[in-house]
């Protein structure tokens, strides 16, 4: 079975949401054991990953050092995140596979994702990146011209443009690598946003939602399953309210209704449900949403949220 595994940026941090090198490595070691188990069960994997906390950290470093080092555009920072996290995921997974005597090649591919330069998101920033701030902290760090909003009741975060992904430039290469049995890490952080003009590609400043980009990739490589790994065990209706209800098995038509009813937070669970809907509408068979600790059970249908046609 061909599975696109979309690792959430927040799922790659510690349980307390700390974004440090050590916490990222520790999280990857835990996830790599689970991924190795999927490899052992003969599944072909394409791994994507989020970068919200990491991209936000790079953006902050970029701004703090601008008096000494020239600022880089956001699309270049997206490429940096792909290399940074791709390297860590690749090395950690390779080590785990070797420990389990699973002889598999793993490769990280810098991936460009085509977007529309007229996408409305460039006028209305909708993608949260970076760490969470309290209102007091926000007043101290807020930058002129930047957009900050509350995110899912967990605090304030910076929001940037998040255009809709249209196609993965390197999809044929990824497909060919998977056919050869190679595990591919691609579309990291949602990919590097690029536009087309007169047959040429050029970068544009934005951060593409990882789950939406993963859905496009999953369709282009004809994956059987889109596995979305996040920081909570499943999708919920009325999340964090007294009448909260976990979703186990959901039909596509019901997922569409729940999304329209506003049950899922923008910049959080909503893009995951949107990704599931798009993947299934365009030929995908199954979408699973869960946290790292429930991946194996979710694949077996005993945990997480499973969405089917």
* pLDDT reported for residue 129: 76
Beta strand pairing call for 147-150 and 156-160: antiparallel
Alpha helix ranges (H) inside the chain: 21-40, 52-64, 74-99, 135-141, 171-179, 210-220, 252-260, 269-281, 295-299
Residue 154 placed within a domain: no
Residue 157 placed within a domain: no
Inform me whether the pLDDT recorded for 159 exceeds 80: yes
Give the rounded percent of residues in the chain with a pLDDT score beyond 90. Answer: 67
2 catalytic? Reply is: no
Residue 169 placed within a domain: yes
Residue 177 placed within a domain: yes
3-class SS letters over 252-300? HHHHHHHHHCCCCCCCCHHHHHHHHHHHHHCCCCEEEEECHHHHHHHHC
Query: Quick one: average pLDDT of 74-79?
Result: 92
* Total domains present in the chain: 1
Residue 59 placed within a domain: yes
Residue 299 placed within a domain: yes
Out of 8, 9, 267, 284, pick the active-site residue: 9
* pLDDT reported for residue 230: 92
Out of 8, 10, 56, 190, pick the active-site residue: 10
- DSSP for 90-109 reads HHHHHHHHHHTT----EEE-
Please check whether residue 275 is in contact with residue 211, taking contact to mean a CB–CB distance below 8 angstroms: yes
Residue pLDDT, tens place only, 65-76: 878 888 888 899
Query: Quick one: average pLDDT of 43-62?
Result: 83
At 275, give phi and psi (nearest 5°): -65, -45
* pLDDT reported for residue 11: 62
Range of the domain at 97: 2-127+165-308
Out of 191, 272, 284, 286, pick the active-site residue: 272
For residue 198, CA distances in Å to 115, 118, 134, 191, 205 come to 15, 16, 45, 22, 19
Query: Quick one: average pLDDT of 266-270?
Result: 82
CATH number of the CATH domain containing 214: 3.40.1160.10
Out of 175, 188, 210, 267, pick the active-site residue: 210
Please check whether residue 13 is in contact with residue 1, taking contact to mean a CB–CB distance below 8 angstroms: no
Residue pLDDT, tens place only, 100-124: 999 999 999 999 999 999 999 999 8
- The predicted model scores a pTM of 0.88
262 catalytic? Reply is: no
127 catalytic? Reply is: yes
Residue 150 placed within a domain: no
Residue 159 placed within a domain: no
| Average pLDDT value for the chain | 90
């Amino acid at each position: 079975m061909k599975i696109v595994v979309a690792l959430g940026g927040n799922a790659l941090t510690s349980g307390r949401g700390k974004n440090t090198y050590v916490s990222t490595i520790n999280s990857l070691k835990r996830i790599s054991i689970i991924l190795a188990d999927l490899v052992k069960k003969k599944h072909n994997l394409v791994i994507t990953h989020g970068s919200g906390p990491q991209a936000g950290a790079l953006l902050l470093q970029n701004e703090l050092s601008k008096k000494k080092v020239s600022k880089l555009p956001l699309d270049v920072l997206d490429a940096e995140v792909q290399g940074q996290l791709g390297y860590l995921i690749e090395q950690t997974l390779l080590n785990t596979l070797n420990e389990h005597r699973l002889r598999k090649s793993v490769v990280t591919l810098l991936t460009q994702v085509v977007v529309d330069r007229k996408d409305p998101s460039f006028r209305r920033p909708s993608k949260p990146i970076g760490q969470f701030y309290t209102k007091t902290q926000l007043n101290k760090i807020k930058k002129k011209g930047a957009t900050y909003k509350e995110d899912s009741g967990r605090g304030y975060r910076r929001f940037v443009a998040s255009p809709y992904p249209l196609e993965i430039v390197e999809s044929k290469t990824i497909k060919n690598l998977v056919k050869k049995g190679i595990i591919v890490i691609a579309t990291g952080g949602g990919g590097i946003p690029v536009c087309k003009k007169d047959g040429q590609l050029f970068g544009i400043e934005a951060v593409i939602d990882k789950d939406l980009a993963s859905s496009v990739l999953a369709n282009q490589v004809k994956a059987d399953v889109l596995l979305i790994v996040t920081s909570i065990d499943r999708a919920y209706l009325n999340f964090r309210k007294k009448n909260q209800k976990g979703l186990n098995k959901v039909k596509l038509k019901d997922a569409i209704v729940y999304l329209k009813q506003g049950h899922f937070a923008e910049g959080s669970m909503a893009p995951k449900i949107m990704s599931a809907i798009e993947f299934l509408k365009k030929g995908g068979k199954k979408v699973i949403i869960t946290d790292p600790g429930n991946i194996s059970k979710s694949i077996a249908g005993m945990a997480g949220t499973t969405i089917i046609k």
